[in-house]
Amino acid sequence: MSTIRIHPLHLGTITRHKDSFMFKIGYGVSMDLPILAFYIEGADKKILVDTGGSDPKDPLEAKLRGPYVREKDQEIINALKNKVGVNPEEIDIVINNHLHWDHCAGNDLFPNAEFIVQKKELESALNPVPPFLSIAYIRKCLEEIRYTTIEGDKEIVKGVSVIFAPGHTEGLQGVLVEAQDNRYFLAGDCVPLYESLNHNPPWPNGLFVNLREYYETQIKVSKLGAVIIPGHDMKVLETSVYY
């Protein structure tokens, strides 16, 4: 039996209009949404999925990313240590869902980790089309991290696989986890909210680069037979450990 468990980590809160996460639904409705990461315990390696956002106290970052707040205990190093007792140098693998600022800004804090991202994601983040999409990225997170790039679905370690799920970005990947009692899919921005999932048909993020690919991804995800954990829903934090 698998001993894998998933620990959600709350790494700050962004305030956005609902239609930013539900395409054309909830225009003008303000929501507080978590920036999430996940620590995967019990696999062959110590794995972290995403590393959170930039420093909201930095004036330039605050201007670009706000409204956004992060408490001291929500900084990735503190969240990891306080919740699961893991130090940054112990992390073996970081899987980035994609390379937007709120998913990879803490990558440089993990000196011994291998960073896994889709090849198409890194290429498109370095040269986004159209170019105005560059506002969603932090250049040093792209250029100063040595990434292991992969293409498509791939098992990372026993019980943990990445699933290519483009649409929101060109190279988004979710993480499929065979946990102790359930199969989970860490969807990231592929499925930002439970409401996205429960809508009939499932509803896309308000930000996407290819709506046809997004639709095909939704069909693919529905066939995984997994419990889907969204990427920006406060309800995710109501469960302290998924197993």
Query: Which residue segment(s) compose the domain that 151 sits in?
Result: 5-235
Q: Quote the pLDDT of residue 200.
A: 86
Domain-embedded: residue 89? yes
Amino acid identity at 91: I
The answer as to whether 74 is a domain residue is yes
pLDDT value of residue 210: 97
Q: Is residue 240 part of a domain?
A: no
DSSP the chain: ----EEEEEEEEEEEEEGGGTSTTSSTT-EEEEEEEEEEEESSSS-EEE------TTSHHHHHHH-SEE--GGGSHHHHHHHHH---GGG--EEE-S--SHHHHTTGGG-TTPEEEEEHHHHHHHHS-SSGGGGGGS-HHHHHSS-EEEE-S-EEEETTEEEEE--SSSTT-EEEEEE-SS-EEEEEETTS-SHHHHHSSS----S--S-HHHHHHHHHHHHTS--EEEESS-GGGGG-S-B-
pLDDT digits (tens, 9 = 90+) for 47-95: 999 999 999 999 888 888 989 999 999 999 999 999 999 999 999 999 9
- Domain assignment present for 202: yes
Instruction: Please report, for the domain that includes residue 91, its CATH number.
Output: 3.60.15.10
What is the model's pLDDT at position 133?
94
Residue 243 domain flag = no
Quick check: 1 pLDDT over 80?
no
pTM tops 0.75, yes or no? yes
Cα end-to-end span (Å), the chain = 12
How many domains does the chain divide into? 1
Whether 63 is covered by a domain: the verdict is yes
pLDDT in tens, 120-156: 999 999 999 999 999 999 999 999 999 999 999 999 9
Residue 190 is predicted with a pLDDT of 97
Evaluate whether residue 242 is within a structural domain: no
Task: Look at the chain and count its residues.
Answer: 243
On whether residue 148 sits in a domain, the answer given is yes
